[in-house]
Structure 1
Amino acid sequence: MNGIALTMRALHQGEQALTERLTVIAARHTREHEVRHVTRDLARWSIEHGRRLAETGRHYGLRLEAPSAAPSESSTDDRHHVAEVVGRTSEPLPELLRDLRELHLGAAGNSLHWVMLGQAAQASKDTRLLDVVSFCHPRTLRQMHWSNTMIKNLSPQLLTVGDEQNA
């Protein structure tokens, strides 16, 4: 298996992991309406990225599983219920920052894979791969930008809760 195929496989796994992470975040933070709705949209993007990688991967002899449709409302609600049962929602504010951090790091890892594939596509003049990278990578950058912006906006509020009372 060549380097492009290995990178595509790693990226496909990264997009699947990001989809799962986004779905869990949406389920865990239902009271944060922006988080819930945006993470669902971002999960759909990662699903689309996985589909495009699976289609393009065939050209490289890869058999990548095309992701199914976005998780349903009921599966998201089920995950939220599980999170409540195991106690993960008892302190939602620090957990939200942790979840956004993990989301950002996952998207950053995927972005690096997109960059590598883009460079390889340009070097090998592979327009099929370059088209996929050109479509998907900007969306991954927006996933990173959104998570970074949310962290910047929420950190002052969430990290200083209780500090004001102690002052």
Structure 2
Amino acid sequence: MTGITTTLRTLHNGERDLEEALLAAAERHRTDHEFHHVAIDCARWSREHSARLAAVGHHYGLDLPGPHDHPTPGALAMLREKAAEALGRRPETGLLLLHDLRDLHLAAARNSVHWEMLAQAAQASRDERLLELVSSCHPQTLRQMRWTNTMIKVLSPQLLLSV
């Protein structure tokens, strides 16, 4: 296994994990509509990234799994939604949101570092396939990081001073 295949596998797993974390946070903070919808959009990017990484991985002899299957919402999802509505924006839920944003930011930053490593390897080896993948996916990861960082900046003063 080469450094590129190891990094592709690590990044693929990181994008899948970030997708799951974004969807879980979106569900937990369902009553914060802006957060909920942007988190779902960011999760779609990570889902697309993992699918594209799996496709490119085949070129390198990797058999990476495709995107996760997400079950259709059922009774448990409805119960979580009702609980989120009942809690609303209480200080405790605000702190949970900040912790989720921190974790999401760190996961996106970790993925960004791997995208950068792949970009450097692609440039050095003149691998057009890998360079195209990085060029189209890494900017979205950077946008995920900017979104989480901006949300932390906006929410921290309000939430940390009100507790």
TM-score by length of 1: 0.87
SS in 2 for 1:43: helix
| Residue type at the aligned position of 1:12 | H
Letter in 2 for 1:35: F
Q: How does 1:1-167 map to 2 (within 5 A)?
A: 1-68=1-68, 71=70, 74=73, 78=77, 81=80, 91-162=92-163
49 and 80 in structure 1: CA distance in 2 versus 1, 3 angstrom threshold: farther
Amino-acid identity (%): 54
Q: Is the 8 A contact 1:27 1:79 kept in 2?
A: no
Structure 1 ranges of 4+ moved more than 3 A? none
One-letter amino acid matched to 1:51:
A
Q: Unmatched 5+ residue regions in structure 1?
A: 163-167
CA–CA distance in structure 2, aligned partners of residues 160 and 73 of structure 1: 38
Could you list the per-position Cα deviations for residues 87-126 of structure 1 after superposition, in whole angstroms to 9, with x for gaps in the alignment?
x998211000000000000000000000000000000000
Q: Structure 2: give runs of 5+ residues left out of the alignment.
A: none
Q: Aligned in 2, Cα 1:18/1:115: closer, same or farther, shift over 3 Å?
A: same
TM-score by length of 2: 0.89
Pairwise CA RMSD: 2.3
Amino acid at match of 1:74: P
Go from structure 1 to structure 2 and tell me whether the alpha carbon gap of 1:131 and 1:92 turns closer, same or farther (over 3 Å shift). Answer: same
Deviation, 1:73, is 6.2
Which AA in structure 2 matches 1:26? A
Question: Between Structure 1 and Structure 2, how many residues are aligned?
Answer: 157
Change (3 A) 1:41 1:131: same
Shift of 1:31: 1.1
Q: 1:72 and 1:138 mapped to 2: Cα distance?
A: 29
